[in-house]
Amino acid sequence: MICENQQELESYVAHARHWTQKGKVADYIPALAKANQAALAVSIYEPGKHCFSAGEVEHKFTLQSISKVLALAVALEDIGEEAVFEHIGMEPTGDPFNSIIKLETYKPSKPLNPMINAGALAVTSLIRGSNNHERLERLLHFIQDITNNSNVKVCEEVAQSEFDTSFLNRSMCYYMKQHNVISGDVEEILELYTKQCAVEVSCRDLARIGAVFAFDGKDPDTDRRIFPTNVARICKTFMVTCGMYNASGEFAIKVGIPAKSGVSGGIMCAVPGRIGIGIFSPALDEKGNSLAGMRLLEKMAKAYDLSMF
Amino acid sequence: MICENQQELESYVAHARHWTQKGKVADYIPALAKANQAALAVSIYEPGKHCFSAGEVEHKFTLQSISKVLALAVALEDIGEEAVFEHIGMEPTGDPFNSIIKLETYKPSKPLNPMINAGALAVTSLIRGSNNHERLERLLHFIQDITNNSNVKVCEEVAQSEFDTSFLNRSMCYYMKQHNVISGDVEEILELYTKQCAVEVSCRDLARIGAVFAFDGKDPDTDRRIFPTNVARICKTFMVTCGMYNASGEFAIKVGIPAKSGVSGGIMCAVPGRIGIGIFSPALDEKGNSLAGMRLLEKMAKAYDLSMF
Amino acid sequence: MICENQQELESYVAHARHWTQKGKVADYIPALAKANQAALAVSIYEPGKHCFSAGEVEHKFTLQSISKVLALAVALEDIGEEAVFEHIGMEPTGDPFNSIIKLETYKPSKPLNPMINAGALAVTSLIRGSNNHERLERLLHFIQDITNNSNVKVCEEVAQSEFDTSFLNRSMCYYMKQHNVISGDVEEILELYTKQCAVEVSCRDLARIGAVFAFDGKDPDTDRRIFPTNVARICKTFMVTCGMYNASGEFAIKVGIPAKSGVSGGIMCAVPGRIGIGIFSPALDEKGNSLAGMRLLEKMAKAYDLSMF
Amino acid sequence: MICENQQELESYVAHARHWTQKGKVADYIPALAKANQAALAVSIYEPGKHCFSAGEVEHKFTLQSISKVLALAVALEDIGEEAVFEHIGMEPTGDPFNSIIKLETYKPSKPLNPMINAGALAVTSLIRGSNNHERLERLLHFIQDITNNSNVKVCEEVAQSEFDTSFLNRSMCYYMKQHNVISGDVEEILELYTKQCAVEVSCRDLARIGAVFAFDGKDPDTDRRIFPTNVARICKTFMVTCGMYNASGEFAIKVGIPAKSGVSGGIMCAVPGRIGIGIFSPALDEKGNSLAGMRLLEKMAKAYDLSMF
């Protein structure tokens, strides 16, 4: 058993709490700016064990970039590994997640990986469905299945607000359309993408998602297969090489587990064969990762010896 | 008098004609691909003199990037030098005309000059008018006035075709909208921009436009002022530093006159205080300039001692 | 036991052999160009087991970029994690290993990681010693200790040849000296760096090196600690995120083990807690990795289920 | 006659003087840092006229980047236009004068023009001579001839200081050596380059240099030809497109004359067919141009109608 007791986890949260004051809540849309700067929560999902949690675990937040991993899993299932990687590369970029430069300099034009915005938009464009409603249902059911939570749904306010203002994502989509990286209607892709980012979850949901990836796509409790091993493996690899924006390398050194963060302050972690972890703390560092969440994870990684390396 | 006789000019055209076979007609839209690869024409507009022409001067073609100079003149008149350069820089870029990189790397985000696509789109967004119809009328009347040709109009086929496929320009507009370089509706700006690029002219029209710039904004025949001296001067300066895509530096060395080219194969030149020149030859070199047109201009620059330097 | 029998391994090598014809032996210095294009060899070091090998295992070759991992281990031991990462970053770059661009664009100027040339040169400048002779001895003894092979030494011909022609590395050193990333004499640093790259090993040596990293810095046979766990962990992490030039992401997906390649055609792999693998095949792919070596590793990763993810 | 009287020029200097307090004297070497922040001087060289001067015209300063124009003139004379432009391009860059990025991104690797550091170093490598002493003599005599001042010589203190610390220029030289842009010994090229930059002149010398370029390479007083017309024309063109670092475009708009500045605070201007102007004021703006000098030139350009455009 990873986490021995509730008190221990609560003390870690208590000690990391002050870091929430050093970060900055994302404010590019009003719905995100409303988040509670001081919030810090963690859940650990260990199969067959009590799910330990500490902090404001009742808080809900949107997946944002964490949804990139889930959309990738769906696209890999829908059209297969080979077809996905015809459109999107496998390499870390060294650039910010919203950089457009490598779309111009890298030949042939192709987003370098599915965890940067350009790559994630291209992934979303590959999800099967005869229209956006079908594609969103496909994705939502997948998330509800992994989280074992049929209440998971899109926060329409956040989705609309992002859709109206995501000029940079539009810019990248049109750039990719010019170079045949994406086909289909840009506004439709953006609508689906902003909805996928606006799926609302809790820390516990994230921990459960992490656990499913940790156990290679199987429900950690029932052993039922939700998605193929290979899909889980690919997703976990990207989480290591590019999951934490352009702090991924440092995170791999300091924590050493597959993880994906979002600008809402969530972090989803999958410790292979062991546990899933969900983190929430909306105050971000300069790279866009939850500041207190990162500190808490560093602490937990040492205490529970979580690093893969 | 610059050009002594008709025969001389015709012999220059005849000698440069074979270069039309080395270039490549733009084919990114069908309407441009239809151009006659072998065409080569030139007109010289010298005030008070016969307008010498040689080659296929009856051919019509769209302004394309040459319109960037005219839209800049209108914007400078409409909102003034200071307001224009709040949104657009004054520096050559060293990058291709359709590069998006410096919008990301240059701080604050701002297109480097009005002759690259990003800058030209921003300029177009500054033209006054309560709607696109008014703005287009403003621009068309300006062009009809300069060319002294009320028949000049938009080729709707080219405009529509460019509008439908200009994903790269859309991408740059949304990128600039994100960074508040442009405000207003992107689709409207693109519609106006593609229409301005699709204004149809002949070599003679270009020569007359060049002459008006050469004479600081005055009608070279009647001395009537069409636009202010300062506007003419700014436009001619950009024509020297950035008029020939990223071959502007070489053109300044080898020819040495203010000039602006377009992918339809036109080149408009203003030899300060002396003449205007219009060139048409749709086969382009690698940088996007009329290949035979450049050779013809090199020859004429030497023969008539046109360089400013 | 990972590898069941000798025959199996030999059949993998036989099947991968034809790939040696698709690659290209590095020829930027004559000493490397002499390598046998058709060579392909592999060694597996499993503690307490027979060391299985197949192919031309008697071939010697120089470490080249594989030495970056070893120099990093020495520097981490010599001055500690914190001091090393004051000079060198932890992030993958997405650029070629010899790119100089991010030294200019990344602020403050700092090589992004120790596996690209700029970062490796900076690492080498941090190795302790009162002069180059001492520093080289320090490094050589470290390598002899890890390989358990006191015959390992520098190939002076290769070292001299690289030193005379490494203008790009000189360029990066002076760039870093300008920005205070490195101090000390550039020619001395280059001399040490080219010597470290020219250390000659065999496949078996590489396999043993991999095994020591796989077992967290301990001699896998005697359990004697050679370097600290933390050093081994950091090195393995960089091997995953940046070990295979800018094919590291793809390698992580397809093979999924910490590995470092060199332009001489060697690959050193550390499968955590299990085995070390040494590969040699000098015909390289476009990214600079041993082409047949990569194919062989893909095969072995599947056959022996080696991926960490 | 351009300048009507001494008093007028003095009043312009007096009015521009306060701008010297807004700039920053270059301090990367001690010899430059010693310059008098408050100094502002101007000389106008009009053939057959009194040479009007105002301000601290007795001050001496080193040519720095102004020497790039003179070395280019020498190299063009020595090996011809074609040979020079095999090694160096003709295009403005849009990047800072000491940027190394385009050497990597531009294919084939080639400095974009002779006014950025990389291009100027390549130009210097092309000056004829069997050794550095001969090459320096060649260059010095050229400068003494143009300035009609046989006392012009190298400031050894500045040269040595720059040589010892010019790691960035060394970096660019080695990068270019790798790509065969320059051949020969890098340290020798750097020695010659730092000496050329350290040639000491006064405002009056600069004005006279400008006048020789203004009159197409002829001594403006005696009409004796010093260098060919074509060389003068090429140099003036680069002064317009790239003479004022990456403020060249803005300078062309606002002043509109061929000019070259240096970090010592000098500006040399050639108004074609009319005058030469020398400026000195060591407090620089952010782009590296003399701040008060630029303001003074803007004023003079308007007052004397100097713009070419």
| CATH number of the domain that residue A89 is part of | 1.10.1500.10
CA distance A229 to chain C (A): 10
Q: Which residue of C has its CA nearest to A244?
A: C91
Does C71 lie in the same domain as C192?
yes
Q: How far apart are CA C207 and CA C257, in angstroms?
A: 14
CA–CA dist D56, D283 (Å, integer): 14
Residue D186, in any domain of the structure: yes
- How buried is A299 (Cβ within 10 angstroms: 0-12 exposed, 13-18 middle, 19+ buried)? middle
Lookup: tokens for D280: 């000195």
Q: Quick one: A145 and A76 in the same domain? A: yes
Tell me which H or E stretch contains C214.
Answer: helix C203-214
Q: What is the DSSP pairing of strand C266-271 with strand C275-280?
A: antiparallel
Whether residue D105 lies within 8 A of chain C, CB to CB, comes out as yes
CB C181 within 8 A of CB C110: yes
Interface test with A, best of B104, B173, B177, B187 (most A CBs within 10 A): B104
Radius of gyration of chain D (CA): 18
Check residue B5 and give its pLDDT: 76
DSSP β-ladder status, B275-280 and B266-271: antiparallel
The whole-angstrom separation of Cα C308 and Cα C237 is 12
Phi/psi of residue B267, each to 5°? -135, 130
Judge whether residue A195 has pLDDT over 80.
yes
Same domain, A52 and A76: no
Prior bond of A258 cis (ω within 30°) = no
Q: Considering just the CA atoms, what is the radius of gyration of chain B in Å?
A: 18
pLDDT at position C49, please?
Answer: 78
Domain co-membership, D272 together with D217: yes
Establish if C1 belongs to a structural domain. Answer: no
Nearest-5° angle of CA A217, CA A219, CA A224?
Answer: 90
Q: Does B113 touch chain D (CB under 8 A)?
A: yes
Does residue D309 fall inside a structural domain?
no
Per-position pLDDT tens, chain D of length 309: 566 678 999 999 999 999 999 999 999 988 899 999 999 999 999 988 778 999 999 999 999 999 999 999 999 999 999 999 999 999 999 999 999 999 999 999 999 999 999 999 999 999 999 999 999 999 999 999 999 999 999 999 999 999 999 999 999 999 999 999 999 999 999 999 999 999 999 999 999 999 999 999 999 999 999 999 999 999 999 999 999 999 999 999 999 999 999 999 999 999 999 999 999 999 999 999 999 999 999 999 999 999 999
Q: What angle do CA B76, B82, B87 make, to 5 degrees?
A: 85
> How far is the C-alpha of B32 from the C-alpha of B232, rounded, in Å?
29
* Contact flag B308-D272 (C-beta cutoff 8 Å): yes
| Catalytic residue chosen out of the listed positions D65, D67, D125, D261 | D65
CA dihedral in degrees (A296, A298, A302, A305; nearest 10)? 100
* Cis amide leading into B108 (omega within 30): yes
Given C43, C68, C202, C304, which residue is catalytic?
C68
Q: Round to whole Å and give the CA distance between C284 and C292.
A: 8
Query: In this structure, what token pair is assigned to residue B243?
Result: 């008029």
Do residues B205 and B294 both lie within one domain?
Answer: yes
Check if the beta carbon of residue D213 is closer than 8 Å to that of residue D142: no
Yes or no, beta carbons of D175 and C101 under 8 Å apart: no
Residues C54 and C124 in one domain: no
Q: Establish whether D106 is a catalytic residue.
A: no
- Among residues A75, A62, A60, the alpha carbon closest in space to that of A195 is found at A62
E strands, A93-232, where?
153-154, 199-202
Residue A137 is part of which domain span?
66-197
Coil/strand/helix, residue A268: strand
Interface list for A 245-304 with C (CB within 8 A): 246-250, 252-253, 256, 258, 272
Structure confidence by residue, pLDDT tens digits, A88-106: 999 999 999 999 999 999 9
pLDDT at B168 over 70: yes
> What does the longest C-alpha to C-alpha distance in chain B come to?
55
Q: Which residues in chain D touch residue C170, judged by CB atoms under 8 angstroms apart?
A: 170-171, 174
D245 is in an annotated binding site: yes
What one-character-per-residue DSSP string does D101-141 give? HHHHHSSS---S-TTSHHHHHHHHTTS--SSHHHHHHHHHH
Q: Which of C102, C237, C247 sits opposite A253 (nearest CB)?
A: C237
Is residue C177 within 8 Å of C169, Cβ to Cβ?
A: no
The pLDDT of residue C50: 72
- d(Cα D141, Cα D152) in Å, to the nearest integer? 9
Strand pairing partners for B256? none
Q: Residues for chain C: how many in total?
A: 309
Q: Which chain D residues contact residue B246 at CB under 8 A?
A: 91
Q: How far is CA A80 from CA A76, A243, C301, D78, in A?
A: 5, 21, 20, 63
Q: From C142, C165, C197, give the residue that closes a domain.
A: C197
Chain A residue closest to B186 (CA)?
A167
**Contact by Cβ (8 Å): C139, C70:** yes
**pLDDT band at A49; cut points 50, 70, 90:** confident
Residue with tokens 């809900």: A60
- Tell me which amino acid residue B305 is: D
- Is the CB of residue A248 less than 8 Å from the CB of residue A92? yes
- On whether the CB atoms of residues C129 and C153 are closer than 8 A, the answer is no
Q: How far apart are CA B186 and CA B165, in angstroms?
A: 14
A242 CB neighbour count, 10 Å cutoff: 29
Q: Are residues C73 and C181 in the same domain?
A: yes
A1 located within any domain: no
Among C197, C225, C257, residue at a domain's last position: C197
Give the rounded percent of residues in chain D with a pLDDT score beyond 70.
Answer: 99
B138 and chain A in contact, CB less than 8 A: no
pLDDT at B287 over 80: yes
C177 and D CB contact within 8 Å: yes
Which of D105, D167, D175 lies nearest to residue C168, judging by beta carbons? D175
Residue at D308 is within a domain: no
Q: Is residue B99 part of a domain?
A: yes
CB-based contact A178 B172, cutoff 8 Å: no
Which of B197, B213, B233 is the last residue before a domain boundary?
B197
Q: Note the pLDDT of residue C1.
A: 58
Residue A220 preceded by cis peptide, ω within 30 = no
Contact A91/C at CB under 8 A: yes
A106 and B CB contact within 8 Å: no
Q: Which residues on D lie below 8 Å from B210 (Cβ)? A: none
Euclidean distance between CA atoms C261 and C291, whole angstroms: 11
Reference C71, options C125, C116, C111; nearest CA is C125
Q: In the annotation, is C68 catalytic?
A: yes
Residue keyed to tokens 């022409």: B53
**Cα–Cα distance between D214 and C194 in angstroms, integer?**
52
Query: What does the alpha-carbon distance between residue B86 and residue C93 come to, in Å, rounded to a whole number?
Result: 34
**Nearest-CB residue to C241 (from A93, A95, A241):** A241
CATH number of the domain where residue D227 is located: 3.40.710.10
Active site residue C193: yes
- The answer, yes or no, to whether residue A4 has pLDDT greater than 70, is no
The answer to whether B270 and B238 are in contact (CB under 8 A) is no
Domain-located, residue A308: no
Average pLDDT, chain A: 96
Considering only CA atoms, which of A51, A50, A41, A46 is closest in space to residue A13? A41
Annotated binding-site residues of B read: 65, 117, 162, 169, 193, 245, 263
> Which residues of D are less than 8 Å from B248 in CB distance?
91-92, 241
Beta bridge partners of residue D280, listed in sequence order:
D41, D266
Cα–Cα distance between B80 and B95 in angstroms, integer?
A: 27
Annotated active-site residue C12? The verdict is no
Between chains, do B100 and A99 touch, taking CB under 8 Å as contact?
no
Summarize the confidence of residues A113-119 as an average pLDDT: 98
Q: What is the DSSP string of chain D?
A: -----HHHHHHHHHHHGGGGGTSEE--SSHHHHTS-TT--EEEEE-TTS--EEEESTT-EEE-GGGHHHHHHHHHHHHHHHHHHHHHS-----SS-TT--HHHHHSSS---S-TTSHHHHHHHHTTS--SSHHHHHHHHHHHHHHHHT-TT-EE-HHHHHHHHHH-HHHHHHHHHHHHTTS--S-HHHHHHHHHHHHTEEEEHHHHHHHHHHHHTTTB-TTT--BSS-HHHHHHHHHHHHHHTTGGGHHHHHHHT-S-EEE-TTSEEEEEETTTEEEEEE--EE-TTSSBHHHHHHHHHHHHHTT----
Distance to chain A for C66, nearest Cα, Å: 18
CA distances from A250 to A279, B193, C112, C126 (A): 18, 45, 11, 20
Amino acid at site B188: E
Q: Does A167 touch chain C (CB under 8 A)?
A: no
Residues A193 and A204 reside in one and the same domain: no
Same domain, yes or no, for D109 and D189? yes
For residue A279, give both structure tokens: 């983190």
Residues A18 and A84 in one domain: no
- Nearest alpha carbon to residue B212 among B230, B227, B192: B227
Taking the C-alpha atoms of residue C85 and residue C81, their distance in angstroms, rounded to an integer, is 6
The rounded distance, in Å, linking the Cα atoms of D71 and D78 is 10
Question: C240 and A233 in contact by Cβ < 8 A?
Answer: no
pLDDT in tens, B193-252: 999 999 999 999 999 999 999 999 999 999 999 999 999 999 999 999 999 999 999 999
Confirm whether D11 is domain-assigned. yes
CA–CA dist A128, A253 (Å, integer):
37
C28 given a catalytic annotation: no
Q: pLDDT at position B1, please?
A: 57
Residue B84 and residue A153: Cα distance in Å, rounded? 46
Q: For residue B80, what are the contacts with CB-CB under 8 A and spacing of at least 6?
A: none
pTM for this entry = 0.95
Q: Which of C255, C263, C271, C290 is catalytic?
A: C263
Q: What whole-number distance in Å separates Cα of residue C168 and Cα of residue C162?
A: 11
Contact D190, D173 (CB under 8 A): yes
User: Pick from B199, B205, B265: which is nearest to B35 by CA?
Assistant: B265
What ipTM was reported for this prediction? 0.95
- Are D233 and D158 contained in the same domain? no
Say if strands B41-45 and B275-280 run parallel, antiparallel, or are unpaired.
antiparallel
**What is residue C177's predicted lDDT score, i.e. its pLDDT?**
97
Catalytic residue of the set C12, C45, C193, C304: C193
Residues A146 and A267 in one domain: no
- The yes-or-no verdict on residue B126 having pLDDT over 90 is yes
Blockwise average pLDDT, block size 10, chain C, 309 residues: 79 97 94 94 90 93 98 98 97 94 93 98 97 97 97 97 95 97 96 98 97 97 96 98 95 97 98 97 96 97 94
State the total domains in chain A: 2
CB pairs under 8 A between A and B: 49
Directed axis angle between helix D203-214 and helix D229-242, to 10°?
120
Q: Are residues A249 and C91, on separate chains, in Cβ contact within 8 Å?
A: yes
| Chains A, C: CB pairs < 8 Å | 103
Residues contributing to the annotated binding site of C for substrate: 65, 117, 162, 169, 193, 245, 263
Q: How far is C230 from chain A (nearest CA, A)?
A: 10
More confident residue, B192 or D30: B192
**Active centre residues of A (catalytic):** 65, 68, 193, 245, 263
